[in-house]
Amino acid sequence: MDILPDTSAVIDGRVSAYDGEIGTVYVPEAVVAELESQANDGRDAGWSGLEELQRLVELADEGAFAVEYVGRRPSASETHGAGEGDIDALIRDLAAEHGATLLTSDVVQAEVAKATGVPVEYIEPETEDTGTLAIEQFLDEQTMSVHLKTGVKPMAKRGAIGDMHYQTIGDDVLTESEMAEFAHDVEAKARASSEGFVELSEPGMNIIQFRDMRIAVARPPFADGIEVTMVRPIVKTDLDDYEFADDLRERITEHQRGILISGAPGAGKSTFAQAVAEFLAESDYAVKTMEKPRDLQVGPHITQYTELGGSMEKTADSLLMVRPDYTIYDEVRKTSDFRTFADMRLAGVGMIGVVHATRAIDALQRLVGRVELGMIPQVVDTVVYIEAGQVNTVYDVKTEVKVPHGLVEEDLARPVIVIEDFETGEPAYEIYTFNRQVVTVPLDDEDGEPAETGVDRIAKNEIEREIKSVARGHVEVELKGQNTAVVYVSENDISTVIGKGGGRISDIENRLGIDIDVRTLDEHPGRNAGGRSSSGSSSDSRGQGEIVQPEITSRHVVIPLGGHQGETVEVQANGEYLFTATVSRGGEIQVSRGSAIAEELELAIDRGKTITVAPQ
C-alpha cells in the first residue's frame, strides 16, 4: 500500500512506526515547508518532524520502502492560512492524485478526507506513561525549583516555605550539549506522555506542565544561552493548616466574595489558594481557575483555564457563560488583569485573586486608579496576607460615609473605605479623597501605637500649601491638636494671610476644617539661629525617591511615571514634600497650571531643584 502522511503523522513519528506493508511513502513538499517553518521559529514540533523525515530516508536506504517527495511548496498566503485548512487541502489533493492512502493523526483532516472520498487511515495520537525526567535527578524533598543554564553550575532553591535559599547543587559547569539534552528530554516526554502538555510555545521559549512541575525551556536568541527552569510545589495544605480557618470558612461560604491573597514571592500564596479552592469544591461550589501558565495543583473536579485567544478577557467572557460560584485568578498583575477581575466580581462571581505585595495594604492599593474608588469594596471585601506559609493578616474592606479619622468638621464627611483588622475588628487604614487626591492613611503604626492621623499626614501639608499660595515669604506649620494649627509667616505677610477682617484665613479654615492661628516667624518657640524652625513641616525631609523630569505645557505641569499606574506617590523637591497624588492610568501626574501646587512645583523647577517621587 502506498501512503501519504500529513504534518501531524510526521511530527508524531507515526510513519516510521507504521505497522503494515508500505510500497511508497509520498511526502508532500507542503509538509516539509510547514516543518521547516516551525523549526525556524524554534518550535520543537518542527524539529521532531524533520527527525522523522530523516528516519524515513534511512529506512528507504535499507529497502523498507520507497520515499518520493511530491507536490509543490505552498505559497505564503497558503502557509498563512494553514489554520483555515489550506495546506490540509493541498495534502488531500496529492493523496488523491497519487492514489495513496492519507495517513493522519488529525481527526478533522480524517473526517474531511472521508467526506471528499479520499482514502484515509486515522491513527489516534499515542500517549505513554514516561518514567522520570532527566532534570529530576536534581530534586529532593526540600527542592522548590531547579535552575540549569549553559556555562553555569546547577542551582536550586531549597528549604521550607518562607526560608528558601538559592544554592549551588552541582560541582561541574553545564555544557551546551548537556543543556540541549535536558531541554529535548523535557519537551519530548511532555508530548509523548499523558502526564504532560506544552502550555506555551513561542520562538525561543516553551512552557511545559509535567505532572506537578512547571518547566520553562529558553533558547537563544530569546535567552543568552539554553536555560531550563523547573518549579514545583513542595507543600500541599488544606484550610485547617492555617490560622483563622473556621472564620475564613464561614466568611467565604456566607456568600460569594472578592478576596485578594497577597504576599511576597515564595511566601506560599498559591499553596493557600489551592487549599481554599479544594475546600470550596468539597463544599459543593463550582470552582474554576484562570491561570497563565496553569500550575495550581488542584483536583480534577476543578477545571483550569488559561488565556483564550491570547486574552484573559475572553476567558472571563467564556466563564461567565458557565457561571462558576468561585474563580481563582492566579496571578492578578497587570491593569487588564485587575479590570477583568473586577468585571467578573461585579457580575456576581466569587473571585479569589493571587497578588504579589510586600504588605497587605499594598494589594488593595493596586486597585486604586484601576477601579473607581467607591467600587473597590464591592470588588474586594477581604485581603489575606501570607507570610512564611502562614496567614499573617486578614483585612475586612467596607465603605462608610463619615468624617475621615482626624478631621472634625461635619461638612468634611465623605465616602471612606475602611480597612479593618479581621481578628480584632479595629480599623487599620482609611482610603478617601482629599482635595482631589486619593490618600491612604494608616491609623496605627507597626508597634500598635496611634499613627499620624489624617490631619497629621495630610492637613499639615495642605495648610502649608494654602498659606504659601498667598504668602510671599517663608511658611512653617505646627499642629496643636487634631483640629488646631499655628502658622508662622514673616511679619510682612501677616496682613496678607489674615485678609481684610480675617476673611482670607476664615476661608482657608472652612475649606480645611481646621482652626488656624497666624503668628510671625519670630514668635516660633523653636526658631534657630538660621531663621528656620527645627521642627517645621518645610524641613520635613523625606526619603530618596525616583528622579523625574516634569514637562511644562500650556495648561499643565506633567510628571511622567510609566509603570506606576494607580500608585499613590509623594512628589518632592530636593527631598522636601510638595504634594501627594495618584498616578493616572496613562502613567503620569497632571497638575493644572495656575494652581498653588503647580506654582510651587514650577518654582522648584526654576530654582534647579531635583524633583523626585516616592511611594506613599
pLDDT tens-digit profile of 551-583?
888 778 889 887 787 787 888 888 777 777 788
Q: Which of 96-105, 110-119, 429-438 has the lowest mean pLDDT?
A: 429-438
Q: Which of 248-252, 308-312, 525-529 has the lowest mean pLDDT?
A: 525-529
CA gap 212, 402 in Å, rounded:
49
The pLDDT of 331-354, averaged and rounded, is 92
CA gap 113, 37 in Å, rounded:
25
CA gap 207, 378 in Å, rounded:
35
- pLDDT digits over 188-217, tens only? 888 777 778 887 888 888 888 888 888 999
pLDDT at 526 over 80: no
The pLDDT of residue 456: 58
CA gap 207, 354 in Å, rounded:
20
**Cell reading at 161:** 516555605
pLDDT at 128 over 80: no
pLDDT at 452 over 80: no
- pLDDT digits over 475-504, tens only? 888 877 667 888 888 888 888 888 888 888
Give 402's Cβ-side CA count (13 Å radius): 12
Q: Where are the beta strands (DSSP E) in 29-123?
A: 66-70, 101-104, 120-122
Q: Which residues of 569-585 are buried (b: 16+ CB within 10 A; e: fewer)?
A: bbbbbeeebbbbbbbee
The pLDDT of residue 392: 92
The pLDDT of residue 435: 64
605 touches 552 (CB < 8 A): yes
The pLDDT of residue 547: 86
CA gap 226, 219 in Å, rounded:
5
The answer for residues whose C-beta is within 8 angstroms of residue 213's C-beta and 6 or more apart is 133, 230, 231, 232
Pairing outcome for strands 24-28 and 66-70: parallel
- pLDDT digits over 424-448, tens only? 899 999 998 876 677 888 886 544 4
SS3 19: coil
- pLDDT digits over 366-376, tens only? 888 788 888 99
Q: Which of 59-73, 230-244, 306-320 has the lowest mean pLDDT?
A: 230-244
151 touches 173 (CB < 8 A): yes
219 touches 203 (CB < 8 A): no
For the chain, the maximum distance between any two Cα atoms, rounded to a whole number of angstroms, is 112
Burial bucket for residue 293 (CB in 10 Å: 0-12, 13-18, 19+): middle
Sign, CA dihedral 165-170-175-176, equals negative
Sign, CA dihedral 520-523-527-530, equals positive
- pLDDT digits over 157-174, tens only? 998 766 788 899 999 999
* DSSP string of 502-552, one letter each residue: GHHHHHHHHHHT-EEEEEEGGG-TTB-TTSSBSS-GGG-B----EE---EE
- pLDDT digits over 267-307, tens only? 889 889 999 999 999 999 999 999 887 778 888 889 999 88
The pLDDT of residue 154: 95
Closest C-alpha among 195, 194, 190, 179 to residue 215: 190
476 touches 487 (CB < 8 A): yes
The pLDDT of residue 457: 55
Give long-range contacts, CB 8 A cutoff, 24+ apart: 501-506: 504/470
The pLDDT of residue 446: 47
CA gap 32, 50 in Å, rounded:
8
Q: Which of 243-252, 317-326, 515-524 has the lowest mean pLDDT?
A: 515-524
pLDDT at 317 over 90: yes
The pLDDT of residue 531: 43
More confident residue, 531 or 317: 317
* 381 — pLDDT class (breaks 50, 70, 90): very high
Place of cell 476664615: 506
At 250, which amino acid appears? E
* 129 — pLDDT class (breaks 50, 70, 90): low
| Edge-to-edge order in the sheet of strand 588-592 | 551-552, 556-560, 588-592
3-state secondary structure 236-273: CCCHHHCCCHHHHHHHHHHCCCEEEEEECCCCCHHHHH
The pLDDT of residue 570: 83
* 6 — pLDDT class (breaks 50, 70, 90): very high
Tell me the whole-structure pTM to 2 decimals: 0.56
Helix axes 107-115, 86-97, angle to 10 degrees: 50
The pLDDT of residue 543: 45
The pLDDT of residue 615: 77
SS3 464: helix
The pLDDT of 256-267, averaged and rounded, is 89
pLDDT at 544 over 60: no
CA gap 559, 457 in Å, rounded:
23
317 membership: H or E segment, kind and range: helix 312-322
* 20 — pLDDT class (breaks 50, 70, 90): confident
pLDDT at 316 over 80: yes
pLDDT at 539 over 60: no
How does the average pLDDT of the chain come out, rounded? 84
Direct distance between the N- and C-terminal alpha carbons of the chain, in angstroms, rounded to an integer? 76
CA gap 155, 120 in Å, rounded:
50
